[in-house]
Structures are given as C-alpha cells and as structure tokens.
Amino acid sequence: MTAKTTPKPPTVRPLGHQEHGMLIGQLALVLAPQARTLPVSVSLLLLLLLAWRWLLWRQRAPLPSKLLIGVAAVLVLVIAAALVWQSGGRLGRELCIALLAAFVILKLMETRALADATLVSQLSFYLLLTLYLADQPFWLAIYSMAIGAWVLRNWLLLHHPEARGRLAIWPLLGRMALFGLPWALFLFVLFPRLDHPLWRLPQSEPTGRTGISDTMKPGSIGELIRSPEVAFRADIVGEALPPSALYWRAFVLWNYDGETWRPASSTLMREAAGLRDDVAGDDLAGPAATDVHEYNITLEPTQKSWLYLLDRGVAVSSSVNAQVSIDDEFFAGAPIDRPLRYRGRSTLGAMPQPLTRRELKLSLSLPDGNPRSRELAAQWASRYPDPWQRVQAALRLFAAAPFAYTLSPPRLGHDQVDSFLFETHRGFCEHYSSSFVFLMRAAGVPARVVNGYQGGEFNPVGRHYVIRQSDAHAWAEVWLAGRGWVRVDPTGAVAPSRVESGVDAALGADEIPALRDLRAPGWLRDLRWGIDGLSYTWQRWVLQYDRTQQGRLLEHAGLTGQLPAVLVGGLAALSLLALVPLWLRRRRIDPVQALYDRFCGLLARHGCTRDAAEGPSDFGARASAALPHAAPAVRAFTDGYVAWRYGAPAAQRQTDVIGRLRASLRELSRSLRR
C-alpha cells in the first residue's frame, strides 16, 4: 500500500516589525483629519486605541489575545450606544465613521500576516474617502492624494518586499498618476454633470454654522460680531462697489414686543424672477431698474433657507428654485447644508412702490411702554410735516454726544428704547436700528428693521469680497411717498467708519482683538488672501462645477450641442494613446529578465527575498536550502537563467530558453503550493 500524503497548507508570510510600524503610521495619517468633524470624546477614544497599538509595537510586545480584543470591541460598541442614546437615537454619519475607524484599529491589533495587512490597507482607502463626507477644502484634496500615494507605496512593499531595493517606487507611482491624469481631467470637464447629487447624506445633528437668526434683540448681533468665520463670498460682475453700497439683505423684521423683533406672522410670496447662470444682460421690467448689478455668491452652509442678495434683489439663479417674498426676501427650496453658489441681480437704492394696508398696519404698530420716546417722536411729528425731516431729526440725535458705538453696552431697563435713548446711550447696530424704527413709527412714519450683512473685505488675489459673521448688521427702511422703501442706517450716524471701513474700524482696540489680528497688514495678511483666493477658486471651478458651467465652457469652445460626440471621440483618442506606452515598453523589456523577476517575486511571497547585491547563483542556492521541497525547480530555473544570461547566447535560441524557463516556473509554482 502506498501511504497517502497530506497536502501542506499554503505558506503564510508573517509581517516584520518594520511592516507593522508602517501600517500603524499609515493609519494614523489617514485618521488625523477626522478630528475636524468627530466629537472630541470619539477622537480621544480613537487616539487611545491607536496609542495602545503603537506602544505594543514600540516595546516589541506580543499582540493582545482575541479575548482582550473582543472586550475592547464590546467597549467600543457600548460607548457608541451611549452616544446614540445621548443624541436621541440618531445613528449619524460621524458615529458610523468613528465605528469604522475603531474597528480598523482593532483589526490592526490582530494583524500578523499579509492577508490581514492587505485588509487594513484596503480599509484605509475607505477611511480616506470618508474625509470628503463633511466638506471638501482644497488642502484636503492635496492631503488625501499624498496619503493615498503613501498607502499604495506601502501596499506594494507588503506584496513585493524585493521592490524596496530593486524598484524606484515613487517615480513608478508618479508615472501612474501622470498616466491617469488626462483621463481624470477629461471626464471631470466633459462627463455630463447633474444639477443635483444622486443622493444626499443625512446629518446626525444640525451642523449649521453660527450666523444671523430671524429674530433680533439687544446683544444678538453683538455676540455674532465677535466671530471671524466666513459667511459667504461674492464677486461682482463689472466694477467694484464702494463699501457703503454693500448691504447684503437677508430678511425684514416687522413685529416688536418691546424686546425682540420678529418677521411678520405670515409671509406673502410672489413669483421669483429666474436668472440663468450662463446668460447675462436679461432685460428687467420696470423703469426703476436703472442701476442694476450682477454678482455671484458662494454661501457657506447655514442649515437655514434664506439667501443673501445685494440691497434690493430682483432675480436669482433659476437652479436654486428660490421663492421671494413681497418684502424682497429670497428663500432656497431647502435648508442650505453645503456650500451653495448662485448668481444674483439687484438694484441699488429705493424702488417706487405702493404701501399696502397690511404693510401700513405692520409698519406703524408698537407695543405699550417707552413713554419718553413716544413724547419725543410726537414733538417731531408736530414740528416737521415732512416725514424725511423726522428721519433727519432722529439721525441728528444719534450723531450727537453722548451716543457711542460699542460691543459692550450697559444693561437696558424695562422700557428698553427709553433706557437706551435717555440713559445708557451706548450700543450696537441692533440698538440703533431698533430705537430708530420705534421713533419713526411713533412719529407716524412707516418703518421696519432689515437684517443682513454690511460691507466685506475685498480680496485682491481672488478679486472677490469676503463677508464674515463679524459683518452682520441691522439697519432700517422707511416708506416715503413717491420713493418707496428707503434704506436708512442709523448706525452710520453715530459711527460712520462702521459703514465705510468695517466694524473693526468703529470699535476700540480691546473689543475685537481676534478680528483686528485677522486683518492686520503685512505678509501674513497677504498669505491669508492667497489661501482664501485658492479656496474660493477651488469651490468655484471644482466643487461647484455643474451643468451650467459645463455648458458655458462648451459654448466658448464652439461645441454647443456636441457633448456626446466630443465625449466619445475623446475617450477613443485617450484609449489609443494609452496603448502607446504599453507598446514601447513591450519592445524594451527583455522577456527572459521578466521571467526572472517573476521567479524572484514568487520566492519572496514565500519568505525568501533576494538581496539587491545577491547574484542569481547565490540566491538560487539560498532559496533551495530555505525551500527544500521546491529545490529541484529552483535549481532548474536558476541554471537555465544563468546559462542564458552569462553563457554563449549564440548557442541557444531565445524562444527555446523562454519555453524551458516558463516550464521551470510552472513547476516551481506547483512545488510551492504542495
């Protein structure tokens, strides 16, 4: 009887100490940017897990047991469940990313062989992709491409250890990137764009950034003014406008209860005028639209639906699907949870329009209280028959001492308008606009409060305005017969520099040091402008490159309506060009040397790696000793290769040598599997 031989299991190549360290560093670089969006507690948990794995590697300690890893996994799930319970049962995007990251680290705890390392590398790519789920700044694209190249390099070294001494890895990856770059650019520019994404990822919790709200009371805008965060950016078509003309309207406040201003209880909507992004110069109806300005706005996420337009907006991009109220407030069709770019068109100054009964009632209504302010307004009403004279009287009051502009006003009493006008005399824009509108209504002049932003810094690098939360502002509008709603900014009477030069010019040096440092002159400011210009360009031409911009590009190239033909022709040309390097390389590569490279790679996967300075005969002898069950095949291949490479080439035909080497390579592969 012949004894049956049990097949040997395939050889599992263990990872070396250096390869473990490479995986730990790789995962740390992949997870580092996640700290921008993950909660602090979750980031600390991931840091602790990664530090645990690093300490084990540093001390060359054995990896933890499966029981200990299981306990750690259960602990992670318990913490995740507690966070879900704390958030009201919402399993959000950030928590899912954190769970994936935690379990990848735990997988690294038990990584001992090549297969485990391969899985960790693959999951590293998924974690890189999750960085783009929150936002997509330009620096993140550069960072992720660099780390992606690093992961590819590590992957190559894991599967081909011999490549470290025999291959220029970074030039190889550079050639691969250059090879794919034309395809990426071509498909990005010409592949048909969608007006909206295929899906919208849900948020775990509202993530709107700080911004103005639809109510106003003393101190509300004063708190917002301390924030240097960007609210939106705007580039105006044509010549730049003076700062005094940059009033970015958000919404109108009608109702006042003695402390807080609110919008009207019901907002009447009218049909919004659509403006195509790729068409300029559409006619506007009406004789009042003489001073028309067009501009583009890139709005940061707010989780609110209102849009900002310059002064009196008359049209907005049709792609926004906006609604507009009779008060010239524009609202997007959904809350803005990602950067939104739209084109607007506005007229500067008042537009003659009638005053409806509803508007008259709203613009003259006042709550009880503030008797001293009512008395002063009554004196103006009896002294000045012209409403505009009453407006000027109020502005003269604010321009005179002891009124002052400050972010730290004293606390107001029960009758807030009286307390401000006759006692404290110190306040911010909401104090002046609120008291001004109260005085006008008490004097019989229809008036209302308008919230939005005023001013903005001009970036000479990107040729656009940067409007920050610190530019939040409140002003007033009064209705005058024959002129309509006229803007009046009482803050400009007490602090003209606020309107002309920005909020930091109107306040003391100790009130907004962060904002003053941000706008400090010198090379640092130039650097900020350069970074901001790059960010704006990235948003405009990459993140928000949509069907409209694609159509405009084709129109300028004279290819309107020919997108399918251009796409097919371009792909065919790129496919043909891709074959040229392959054909040239096929002519350059020595087929015998290619077989020897396969031979070395096969042995390296089974733990026998050829040194850079090791000759074929020495390597063959060492491999035969290390792998005795495959020694005959190793010797046969090595002898054939040495005879061809170092013998007399004329004595053999290359085709015969290649055939024998391929046969020896197949036999070696079978021997290694046994």
* 41-61 residue pLDDT tens: 888 999 999 999 999 999 999
Please, what sign has the CA dihedral across residues 439, 444, 448, 453? negative
Residue 142 lies inside a defined structural domain of this protein: yes
Catalytic site residue from 489, 504, 600, 608: 489
Residues 396 and 469 in one domain: yes
Residues 337 and 443 in one domain: yes
Residues 249 and 158 in one domain: no
**pLDDT recorded at residue 209:** 52
Contact indicator for 480, 389 with CB cutoff of 8 Å = no
> What six digits make up the tokens of 383?
């002294």
Contact indicator for 339, 543 with CB cutoff of 8 Å = yes
Residues 153 and 241 in one domain: no
Residue 369 lies inside a defined structural domain of this protein: yes
Domain total of the chain: 3
**pLDDT recorded at residue 1:** 43
User: Which of 167, 188, 205 finishes a domain?
Assistant: 167
Please, what sign has the CA dihedral across residues 129, 131, 137, 143? negative
Residue 144 lies inside a defined structural domain of this protein: yes
**pLDDT recorded at residue 283:** 37
Residues 458 and 346 in one domain: yes
Q: Which residues pair with 457 in a beta bridge?
A: 466
Residue 546 lies inside a defined structural domain of this protein: no
- Respond yes or no: is residue 277 known to be catalytic: no
Residue 215 lies inside a defined structural domain of this protein: no
Catalytic site residue from 160, 429, 504, 532: 429
Residues 91 and 235 in one domain: no
- Burial (0-12, 13-18, 19+ Cβ within 10 Å), 15: middle
**pLDDT recorded at residue 494:** 85
Altogether, the residues listed in the chain come to a count of: 674
413 three-state secondary structure: coil
**pLDDT recorded at residue 82:** 87
Tell me: the pLDDT tens digits for 285-331? 333 445 788 999 999 888 888 899 998 888 888 778 888 888 888 99
Residues 497 and 610 in one domain: no
Tell me: the pLDDT tens digits for 193-211? 765 555 555 554 444 455 7
Residues 161 and 65 in one domain: yes
C-alpha 265/C-alpha 254 separation (Å) is: 9
Q: Which domain holds residue 628?
A: 589-673
User: Which of 518, 544, 570 finishes a domain?
Assistant: 518
Residues 287 and 365 in one domain: yes
Catalytic site residue from 473, 504, 606, 608: 473
Residue 297 lies inside a defined structural domain of this protein: yes
- Respond yes or no: is residue 611 known to be catalytic: no
Residues 226 and 163 in one domain: no
- Respond yes or no: is residue 489 known to be catalytic: yes
Residues 598 and 664 in one domain: yes
Please, what sign has the CA dihedral across residues 665, 669, 672, 674? negative
C-alpha 79/C-alpha 102 separation (Å) is: 11
Residue 2 lies inside a defined structural domain of this protein: no
Tell me: the pLDDT tens digits for 83-98? 888 877 777 788 888 8
Residue segments in the chain with a per-residue pLDDT below the cut of 50: 1-3, 7-10, 204-208, 277-289
- β-pairing, 447-454 with 340-347? unpaired
Residues 494 and 625 in one domain: no
What 8-state DSSP symbol labels residue 540? I
Q: What is the pTM of this model?
A: 0.70
Q: What is the Cα 672 distance to its own chain's centre?
A: 51
Residue 177 lies inside a defined structural domain of this protein: no
